[in-house]
Amino acid sequence: MKRLHGHEDVLFFVASTLLLAIGGGAWLLGAQDPATQCWTVATVLGLGASVAWTVAAVRRHELTVDVIAVLALVGALAVGEAFAGAMITVMLASGRLLEARAEARARRELGLLLERSPRTALRRVASGVVEVPVDEVVRGDRLLVGTGSLVPVDGRLLEDALLDESALTGEPLPVERPAGEDVRSGVVNAGAPVDLVATAVAAESTYAGLVRLVEQAQAQSAPFVRIADRLAVLFVPMTLLLAGGAWALSGDPVRAVAVLVVATPCPLLLAAPIAFISGLSRAARVGVVIKGGGALERLAAGRVMLFDKTGTLTQGRPVLVDVVTAGPEVDPDEMLRLAASLDQVSPHVLASSIVTAASRQGLTLEMPDDVVEEHGYGLSGRVGPHEVRLGKAAWIVPGPTPGWVRQARRRASLDGSLTVFVAVDGRPAGVFLLEDVIRPDAPRMVRGLRNAGIQRVVLVTGDRADVAEMVGRVVGTDAVLADCDPADKLAAIQTESSRAATIMVGDGVNDAPALAAAGVGVALASRGATASSEAADVVLVVDRVDALADAILIAQRSRRIARQAVLVGMGLSLVAMGVAAAGLLPPAAGAVLQEVIDVLAIGLALRAVLPGAEHTVTMAAADVELARRLKVEHDATLGVVEQLRAVADGLSTQDRDLAPVRELMDRLERDLLPHERADEELLVPLVSRALGGDAATVALSRTHAEIEHQASRLRRLLAELDDDAQPEDVIELRRLLYGLYGVLRLHNAQEEEGAFSLLPTVPDLAGSSRGRLPPER
Helix H segments across 476-584? Answer: 486-497, 512-517, 531-535, 547-581
Inter-axis angle of helices 66-78 and 32-59, nearest 10: 150
> In what side-by-side order are the strands of the sheet with 502-506?
288-290, 538-540, 520-524, 502-506, 304-307, 456-460, 479-481
Cα separation, 68 vs 232, in Å, equals 10
pLDDT at residue number 212: 59
Helix H segments across 221-289? Answer: 227-250, 253-263, 266-285
pLDDT at residue number 668: 93
* Nearest CA-CA partner of 535 in 188, 213, 209: 213
Cα separation, 163 vs 150, in Å, equals 10
Helix H segments across 606-692? Answer: 621-636, 638-650, 659-667, 673-678, 684-691
pLDDT at residue number 325: 87
CB of 711 closer than 8 Å to CB of 668: yes
Instruction: Please report how many Cα atoms fall inside a 13 Å half-sphere around the Cα of residue 631, on the Cβ side.
Output: 21
* Nearest CA-CA partner of 518 in 273, 301, 310: 301
Please say whether the dihedral angle defined by the alpha carbons of residues 766, 767, 771 and 773, taken in this order, is positive or negative.
negative
DSSP state string for 91-155: HHHHHHHHHHHHT-PPP---HHHHHHS--EEEEEETTEEEEEEGGG--TT-EEEE-TTPBP-S-E
pLDDT digits (tens, 9 = 90+) for 582-600: 888 888 888 878 878 877 8
SS3 sequence, 341-379?
Answer: HHHCCCCCCCHHHHHHHHHHCCCCCCCCEEEEEECCCEE
> In what side-by-side order are the strands of the sheet with 188-189?
175-177, 161-164, 188-189
Judge residue 723's burial from the number of C-beta atoms within 10 Å of its C-beta, 0-12 exposed, 13-18 middle, 19 or more buried.
exposed
Strand partners of residue 424: 388, 427
Burial 548-558 (b: 16+ CB within 10 A, else e): bbbbbbbbbbb
Judge residue 22's burial from the number of C-beta atoms within 10 Å of its C-beta, 0-12 exposed, 13-18 middle, 19 or more buried.
middle
pTM greater than the 0.75 cutoff: no
**48 Cβ partners below 8 Å, 6+ apart?**
none
Burial 149-165 (b: 16+ CB within 10 A, else e): bbbbbbbebeeebbbbb
Cα separation, 166 vs 509, in Å, equals 8
The H or E element spanning position 701 is: helix 698-720
CB of 173 closer than 8 Å to CB of 218: no
CB of 177 closer than 8 Å to CB of 192: no
CA distances from 694 to 159, 691, 699, 750 (A): 59, 8, 10, 15
Strand partners of residue 524: 540
Q: What are phi and psi of 289, to 5 degrees?
A: -100, 115
Task: Say whether 422 sits in a helix, a strand or coil.
Answer: strand
Cα separation, 125 vs 715, in Å, equals 73
* Nearest CA-CA partner of 113 in 581, 554, 534: 534
Residues 105-108: contacts with CB under 8 Å, at least 24 apart: 105/224, 105/291, 105/292, 105/293, 105/294, 105/295, 105/537, 106/291, 106/292, 106/537, 108/214, 108/218, 108/221, 108/516, 108/521, 108/534, 108/535, 108/536, 108/537
pLDDT at residue number 763: 37
> In what side-by-side order are the strands of the sheet with 128-133?
128-133, 120-125, 142-145, 194-198, 155-157, 182-183
Cα separation, 621 vs 598, in Å, equals 41
**760 Cβ partners below 8 Å, 6+ apart?**
619, 624
Strand partners of residue 177: 161
* Nearest CA-CA partner of 88 in 103, 102, 68: 68
Please say whether the dihedral angle defined by the alpha carbons of residues 171, 176, 178 and 179, taken in this order, is positive or negative.
positive
Strand partners of residue 175: 163
pLDDT at residue number 110: 42
CA distances from 198 to 123, 130, 579 (A): 10, 15, 78
pLDDT at residue number 521: 87
Q: Are strands 188-189 and 427-435 parallel, antiparallel or unpaired?
A: unpaired
**Helices then strands, each counted (H, E), the chain:** 29, 22
CB of 460 closer than 8 Å to CB of 308: yes
Cα separation, 386 vs 398, in Å, equals 20
Q: What are phi and psi of 251, to 5 degrees?
A: 70, 10
Which residues in the chain come in under a pLDDT of 70?
A: 1-6, 62-65, 95, 98-116, 166-173, 206-207, 209-233, 264-270, 347, 349, 508-510, 525-535, 541-543, 612-618, 723, 760-777
Catalytic residues: 308
Give the CA diameter of the chain. 116
Q: Are strands 378-383 and 161-164 parallel, antiparallel or unpaired?
A: unpaired
CB of 717 closer than 8 Å to CB of 733: yes
What is the CA 640 to chain-centroid distance, rounded?
A: 34
CB of 543 closer than 8 Å to CB of 526: yes
CB of 580 closer than 8 Å to CB of 590: yes
Q: Are strands 155-157 and 194-198 parallel, antiparallel or unpaired?
A: antiparallel
pLDDT digits (tens, 9 = 90+) for 439-487: 888 888 888 889 888 999 999 988 888 888 989 998 999 999 988 888 8
CB of 350 closer than 8 Å to CB of 418: yes
Cα separation, 155 vs 165, in Å, equals 14
Task: Say whether 611 sits in a helix, a strand or coil.
Answer: coil
DSSP state string for 423-452: EETTEEEEEEEEE-PBPTTHHHHHHHHHHT
Terminal alpha carbon distance of the chain: 61
